């Protein structure tokens, strides 16, 4: 996070400004603050360091001081600064250009590959998104050998499979002169998380600076935090009473079934955990017990009720009414069961009536009072809310009250609203900075990674249970003068528990950090990453150095390519019309996560992809990655049937793997095996083999609802041509084996209905690895109208 760009706001007690004097720092650009100089010196002396400090204490200034000294010591080296978002990268680029006397450039995915390589070679300080650098390092376009300082901004992200972890490991194995600097306002409240970040990024020292330090106080602007509590209205309490009854009845049923142990204080996480256990039980059964299927339905219903109560208590009637309308359209047993429940229907009806009356959450009324006073005092305000629906509602109310407010959210599209492009986001922030708007109403997207100017007041429409997010939101005020934050809380609701949770976590974090960070002793058995690095250094043979795999470009940023690179394999991203990883001229790998396997089975992609594999390669195979194949809710026998069909009907080998690392290890073994057999020159397929006339006919018929390859063949055998199939009546279609009344009716409906585009819908991004099967695309609701 970039802050205090020039540090020209000097505390009143300071009589004159002293500036940093350094051969690589521009004159009168950085004010000489002792605590920043001492921290920078500590980094240079003690090595890899994480700096934990609130926003506005000048973490970026410290990074600039360390960078200047490293470039002075190693004149031919580079400094690489990584930040999680493009706007933040550009902001860092501008700051370092302003501070340091050297060439500074930024690298993001928006820059062409050839230009990125040129910029890398021509620059001494590079600011970049980690995904961009990771992609280039894996493709071996350049290396980190000459980087003398690697800076991780928002370093608390350095966990799991985030690109920071890969780049820290690669830097540790490649760079000649290593120094790592991590910057964050909050590494997390749990000791385990802090240790994980430090281990992943090779951090040896943690330096904590806060507003209470004697050397910081003269420069720190205190932030006043105020809680404003409201009571639910009687109409909301009536709705809540009905939802409570619905919830208790279902929780009691789940307890009787042994699915949960208590009905008190059950959270969404508890429900998801219980659902996973039941799905695990179903996966081990050839014929899942009816009780298990009932439990899944009840758990899904409980989750929906919990979410309904959260919207009622923390957001308002309008949000809840919209959610009920979306639920009504669902065809699941859980949703249908809820709408058959008398209490749930009472809650729905009371919500509809309250919405028709224009009833609003008392928070909204309180918020408008706060904003009117702030605007009257010419204050700039940011309002944070979890939900985009609430952001829209707040902005509309502000406009009605004559308050100049603008809404700000992410790039993701929703059913009735497009996301904001980065260009649109920049224009909004610029207008807010120029005071065209006095109030910015934002989702969590403005917490970090966006160059938001400091404001006089931050208002949280609801508390968040995360100490990291609470600190980041608070950091949006108090940068140049005394700050203020107001948290709106609904009494006796989850609002209170969320707020206390965030406070407890922040105290816990400070306690953990105040005790000093002790670097964990190296374990007797190294972790997986250590083993891979050691194996690569000690056992890489001349044969393995020549290994190359061609990867479909939509898989290029998956965890598998990262691990293949760690194993010494050269990864080439290309457009593969079939499959994901081409190992040799004869071997093609189709990688499927367990989630993707199930979704491709449901939407029929699985068999089409399998057919293309066996038609285009002599030895194709499927790698099935993950250990939760039977936890999707789909009947396990359907999954087993699909696996049997792939193995027997398509003669496709299926290799199970546990994780992306395991998948990479298997592909690596396939590469070695093919290399040993002499399959060294690979001819990349850029097109599929052309479909025969019969294949094209089958493909068209298979597109009809509920029609698979077998039934499509039967239809063509019965009616001879596609034209006759499409002209067949409902009764004629039912004569074909496998087609009943419902399927025949659906087929006729698809053929006879007019195509009328109603409202564009952009599918939500699924939490699947990037691949050619999972790219969300534009879909449309079709209004069906009989001819």
Instruction: Give alpha helix (H) positions in 329-459.
Output: 333-339, 342-356, 362-376, 388-400, 422-433
Query: Which of 298, 280, 393, 398 minimizes the C-alpha distance to 341?
Result: 298
Mean pLDDT, residues 732-736: 90
How is residue 59 written in tokens? 């973490």
State the Rg of the chain over Cα: 30
- Entry pTM: 0.70
d(CA 184, CA 453): 18
Mean pLDDT, residues 74-97: 92
Token pair 């006339």 is found at 693
Q: How far is CA 205 from CA 50, 56, 150, 513, 625, in A?
A: 6, 22, 15, 11, 37
| 458 CB-near residues (< 8 Å, 6+ apart) | 381, 382, 383, 384, 473, 474, 476, 477, 483, 484, 485, 486
Token pair 């597109």 is found at 703
Pick from 166-175, 633-642, 716-725: least confident: 633-642
* DSSP sequence for 16-60: S--B---TTBPTTSSB--HHHHHHHHHHHHH-SEEEE--TTS-HH
Mean pLDDT, residues 179-185: 93
d(CA 522, CA 424): 48
Mean pLDDT, residues 698-712: 83
Which pLDDT value is given to residue 350? 96
Which pLDDT value is given to residue 81? 97
Which pLDDT value is given to residue 522? 42
* DSSP sequence for 129-197: -HHHHHHHHHTTSS-STTEEEEEEETGGG-STT-HHHHHHHHHHHH-SS--EEEEES---SSHHHHHHH
Q: How confident is the model at residue 208 (pLDDT cuts 50, 70, 90)?
A: confident
Residue percentage of the chain with pLDDT more than 90: 47
Residue percentage of the chain with pLDDT more than 70: 85
Which pLDDT value is given to residue 398? 93
Which pLDDT value is given to residue 758? 45
Which pLDDT value is given to residue 9? 42
Which pLDDT value is given to residue 12? 42
Q: How confident is the model at residue 756 (pLDDT cuts 50, 70, 90)?
A: low
Which pLDDT value is given to residue 214? 78
pLDDT in tens, 624-683: 999 888 877 777 888 999 999 999 999 999 999 999 999 999 999 999 998 888 765 565
Mean pLDDT, residues 145-161: 94
pLDDT in tens, 119-128: 999 999 999 9
d(CA 781, CA 787): 18
Helix 605-616 vs helix 636-648: angle between axes, to the nearest 10 degrees?
A: 20
Mean pLDDT, residues 725-744: 90
| 173 CB-near residues (< 8 Å, 6+ apart) | 533, 536, 537
Query: Which of 657, 654, 642 minimizes the C-alpha distance to 600?
Result: 642
Which pLDDT value is given to residue 516? 55
Q: How far is CA 363 from CA 57, 231, 394, 447, 457, in A?
A: 33, 9, 10, 21, 17
pLDDT in tens, 479-535: 667 888 999 999 988 888 888 777 777 777 766 666 555 444 443 333 444 434 444
Query: Which of 589, 525, 596, 511 minimizes the C-alpha distance to 208?
Result: 511
* DSSP sequence for 86-129: HHHHHHHHHHHHHHBSS-EEEE-TTS-HHHHHHHHHH-SEEEE-
**Does residue 283 surpass a pLDDT of 80?**
no
Which pLDDT value is given to residue 515? 58
Which pLDDT value is given to residue 267? 87
pLDDT in tens, 459-473: 999 888 777 777 777
Half-sphere exposure for 74 (CA within 13 Å, toward CB): 19
Mean pLDDT, residues 243-259: 93
Which pLDDT value is given to residue 422? 73
Task: Provide the pairing of β-strand 78-82 with 125-128.
Answer: parallel
Which pLDDT value is given to residue 415? 67
Mean pLDDT, residues 741-745: 89
Q: Which residues pair with 549 in a beta bridge?
A: 571
Q: What integer best gives the mean pLDDT of the chain? A: 83
**Does residue 43 surpass a pLDDT of 90?**
yes
Pick from 340-349, 409-418, 659-668: least confident: 409-418
Which pLDDT value is given to residue 177? 95
**Does residue 395 surpass a pLDDT of 90?**
yes
């Amino acid at each position: 996070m970039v802050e205090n760009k020039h540090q020209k706001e000097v505390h009143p007690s300071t009589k004159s400004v002293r500036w940093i004097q350094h051969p690589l720092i521009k004159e009168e650009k950085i004010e000489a603050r002792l605590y920043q100089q001492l921290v920078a010196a500590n980094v240079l002396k003690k090595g890899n360091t994480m700096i934990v400090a609130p926003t506005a204490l000048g973490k970026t200034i410290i990074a600039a001081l360390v960078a200047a000294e490293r470039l002075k010591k190693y004149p031919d080296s580079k400094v690489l600064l990584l930040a999680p978002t493009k706007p933040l990268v550009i902001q860092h680029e501008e700051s370092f250009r302003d501070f340091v006397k050297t060439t500074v450039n930024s690298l993001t995915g928006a820059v062409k590959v050839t230009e990125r390589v040129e910029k890398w070679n021509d620059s001494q300080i590079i600011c970049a998104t980690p995904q961009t650098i990771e992609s280039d390092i894996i493709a071996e376009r350049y290396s980190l050998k000459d980087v003398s300082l690697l800076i991780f901004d928002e370093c608390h992200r350095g966990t799991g499979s985030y690109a920071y972890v890969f780049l820290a490991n690669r830097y540790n194995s490649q760079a000649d002169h290593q120094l790592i600097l991590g910057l964050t306002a909050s590494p997390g409240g749990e000791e385990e998380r802090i240790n994980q970040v430090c281990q992943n990024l090779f951090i040896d020292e943690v330096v904590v600076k806060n507003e209470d330090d004697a050397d910081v106080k003269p420069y720190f602007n205190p932030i006043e935090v105020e809680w404003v509590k409201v009571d639910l209205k009687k109409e909301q309490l009536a709705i809540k009473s009905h939802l409570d009854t619905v919830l208790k009845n279902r929780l009691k049923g789940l307890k009787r079934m042994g699915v949960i142990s208590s009905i008190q204080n059950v959270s969404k996480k508890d429900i998801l955990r219980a659902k996973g256990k039941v799905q695990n039980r179903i996966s081990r059964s050839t014929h899942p017990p009816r009780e298990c299927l009932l439990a899944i339905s009840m758990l899904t219903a409980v989750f929906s009720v919990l979410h309904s109560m959260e919207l009622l208590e923390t957001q308002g009637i309008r949000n809840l009414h919209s959610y009920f309308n979306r639920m009504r359209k669902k065809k699941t047993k859980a949703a249908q069961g809820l709408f058959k429940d008398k209490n749930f229907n009472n809650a729905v009806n009371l919500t509809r009536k309250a919405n028709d009356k224009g009833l609003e959450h008392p928070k909204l009324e309180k918020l408008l009072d706060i904003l009117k006073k702030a605007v009257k005092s010419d204050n700039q305000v940011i309002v944070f809310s979890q939900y985009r629906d609430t952001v829209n509602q707040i902005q509309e109310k502000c406009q009605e009250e004559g308050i100049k407010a603008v809404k700000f959210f992410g790039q993701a599209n929703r059913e009735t609203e497009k996301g904001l492009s980065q260009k649109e986001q920049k224009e909004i922030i610029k207008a807010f900075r120029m005071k065209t708007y006095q109030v910015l109403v934002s989702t969590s997207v403005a917490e970090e990674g966006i160059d938001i100017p400091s404001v006089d007041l931050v208002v949280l429409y609801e508390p968040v249970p995360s100490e990291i997010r609470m600190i980041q939101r608070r950091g949006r005020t108090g940068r140049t003068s005394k700050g203020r934050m107001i948290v709106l809380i609904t009494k006796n609701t989850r609002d209170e528990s969320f707020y206390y949770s965030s406070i407890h976590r922040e105290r816990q974090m400070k306690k953990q950090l105040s005790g000093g960070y002790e670097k964990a002793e190296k374990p007797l058995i190294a972790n997986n990453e250590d083993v891979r690095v050691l194996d690569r250094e000690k056992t890489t043979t001349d044969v393995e150095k020549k290994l190359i795999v061609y990867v479909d470009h939509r898989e290029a940023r998956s965890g598998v390519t990262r691990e293949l690179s760690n194993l010494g394999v050269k990864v080439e991203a290309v457009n593969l019309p079939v499959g994901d990883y081409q190992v040799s001229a004869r071997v093609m790998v189709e990688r499927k996560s367990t989630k993707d396997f199930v979704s491709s089975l449901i939407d029929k992609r699985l068999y089409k992809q399998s057919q293309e594999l066996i038609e285009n390669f002599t030895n194709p195979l499927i790698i099935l990655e993950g250990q939760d194949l039977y936890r999707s809710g789909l009947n396990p026998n359907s999954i087993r049937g699909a696996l049997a069909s792939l193995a027997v009907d398509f003669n496709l080998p299926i290799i199970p793997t546990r994780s992306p690392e395991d998948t990479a290890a298997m592909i690596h073994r396939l590469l070695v095996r093919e290399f040993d057999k002499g399959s060294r020159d690979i001819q990349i397929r850029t097109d599929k083999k052309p479909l025969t006339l019969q294949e094209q006919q089958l493909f068209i018929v298979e597109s009809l609802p509920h029609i698979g390859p077998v039934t499509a063949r039967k239809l063509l055998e019965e009616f001879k041509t596609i034209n006759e199939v499409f002209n067949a009546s409902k009764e004629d279609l039912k004569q074909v084996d496998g087609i009943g009344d419902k399927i025949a009716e659906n087929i006729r409906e698809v053929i006879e209905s007019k195509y009328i585009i109603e409202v564009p819908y952009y599918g939500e991004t699924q939490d699947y690895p990037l691949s050619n099967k999972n790219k969300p695309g534009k879909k449309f609701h079709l209004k069906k109208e009989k001819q």
